[in-house]
Amino acid sequence: MVELDGWEYHAPTIEDDVDTRVRIIRSGQAEVWTLTWDDFEDEAGPCANPFISGVPQPVLEGRLAQLLSDSRFPTLHPLSTAIDCLRRGRSMDALISRLRSTHWEPAKAAVLFGRVAIGATGTDFTSLVTTDLNEDARLYLEEAALHGRLDDGGLSAILGLPSGSPIEIVEKTSEARFVLRADISTARSERASDLASKGVWRGFWRCLNLLQELHGLHVSLPGLDTLDAGVVRDDRSAEIILSDIEWQEIQSLVDEDMAEIVVAIHQAGLPLPDMIGEDMMAGDSVIGTVEIGWRASRFAIALEPLELSGWLIEEAVSPNSSQFSEFLRRVVRAVSGGST
């Protein structure tokens, strides 16, 4: 799934966007890649990247070169492409690499880079505890053996890694804990003019794109923390969470007169429609548009009366109408294949 976000439109809704996309990622049903206008400009704009920081560059480069090239560490060599993506380039570059690569494991690459950057002993945890980390995040990270922090501008990756050599830690990637912290203005209405927040926002999405396969990843924003119980825990299945989000997207795409009908259809337990705002053709002519429809059932709903050979097309009925219940039953029968 690829989302295309512009700064001015999405600046006020960052928390909502992140919450929705993290839920989709955690469902395990889809990858979510967020691209911004910066990915399509001739020259890249400011973009925070904590993975360019760490120990002094000559030391870091030497250690990485050894691990990614030395014949003693063959299992680490395939991670070189993902490490390069973490350290440089735009989200679009990373997405292209992900599609082309036969060996794409950015979660392991992030853990390996983190281990090299913070060293064998890491950093004393108490020195990492700052006011920008809430109590849940501190407790979550404290349980790890090694700790460290990578910062660039207002974007931070706070790490909690298992103990061991680089090879051993990569094999324990599922135990790694990352908190991705973005320092973005809390004044939603004023963000669009805040260039510093824009650079952090670009870098945040880039990091989330690359780290989404890391099971121990959590996100911390001024108005959202995925370690909060209400966000992390959901007693519904992953499939239901993803389905809810998809239905909400459909609701946002249809005509406003259809929005409540979509809610009712969702609650009726029907599958997602695979037609949204689609023109219906009779030969070479467009005879009308349906709001939603199900191709397999040859059934659709339109706002105006519409007839097409081989299709059953219902005219939408207002939820306030006394006829709405019967209309909804006809929809269920048509889509589910029940008797009419």
Stretch 62-88: mean pLDDT: 88
Q: Is the CB of residue 230 less than 8 Å from the CB of residue 223?
A: no
Q: Is the CB of residue 174 less than 8 Å from the CB of residue 107?
A: no
Stretch 299-306: mean pLDDT: 95
Measured in whole angstroms, how far is the alpha carbon of residue 165 from the centre of its chain? Answer: 31
Q: Is the CB of residue 208 less than 8 Å from the CB of residue 157?
A: no
Residue 277 CB partners (closer than 8 Å, separation 6+): 253, 254, 289, 290, 291
Q: Which tens digits make up the pLDDT trace of 275-297?
A: 999 999 999 999 999 999 999 99
Q: Which range, of 30-44, 61-75, 125-139, 267-281, averages the lowest pLDDT?
A: 125-139
Q: Is the CB of residue 70 less than 8 Å from the CB of residue 164?
A: no
Question: From the CB of residue 262, how many other CB atoms can be counted at a distance below 10 Å?
Answer: 21
Q: Which range, of 158-162, 173-177, 186-190, averages the lowest pLDDT?
A: 186-190
* pLDDT reported for residue 178: 93
**Contacts of 101-108 spanning 24+ positions with Cβ under 8 A:** 103/78, 105/78, 105/79, 105/213, 106/82, 106/210, 106/211, 106/213, 106/214, 107/173, 107/176, 107/211, 107/213, 107/214, 107/215, 108/79, 108/82, 108/170, 108/173
What proportion of the chain, given as a percentage, has pLDDT over 90? 40
Confidence of residue 243 (pLDDT cuts 50, 70, 90): low
Q: Which tens digits make up the pLDDT trace of 87-137?
A: 888 999 999 999 988 888 999 999 999 999 888 888 888 887 666 777 888
Domain-wise residue ranges, the chain:
2-232, 238-336
Distances (CA, A) of 313 to 118, 171, 257: 62, 55, 17
215 compared with 339, residue with greater pLDDT? 215
Q: 0.95 exceeded by the pTM?
A: no
Q: Which range, of 144-153, 169-178, 215-224, averages the lowest pLDDT?
A: 215-224
Number of H helices, E strands in the chain: 14, 11
Q: Is the CB of residue 151 less than 8 Å from the CB of residue 50?
A: yes
Axis crossing angle, helix 14-27 with helix 195-211, rounded to the nearest 10? 0
Question: From the CB of residue 228, how many other CB atoms can be counted at a distance below 10 Å?
Answer: 14
* pLDDT reported for residue 340: 42
* pLDDT reported for residue 280: 95
Q: Is the CB of residue 116 less than 8 Å from the CB of residue 63?
A: yes
Q: Is the CB of residue 65 less than 8 Å from the CB of residue 252?
A: no
- Rounded Cα distance between 21 and 96, Å, is 20
Identify the CA nearest to 178 among candidates 159, 163, 162.
159
Q: Is the CB of residue 294 less than 8 Å from the CB of residue 235?
A: no
- Rounded Cα distance between 179 and 35, Å, is 21
pLDDT at 242 over 50: no
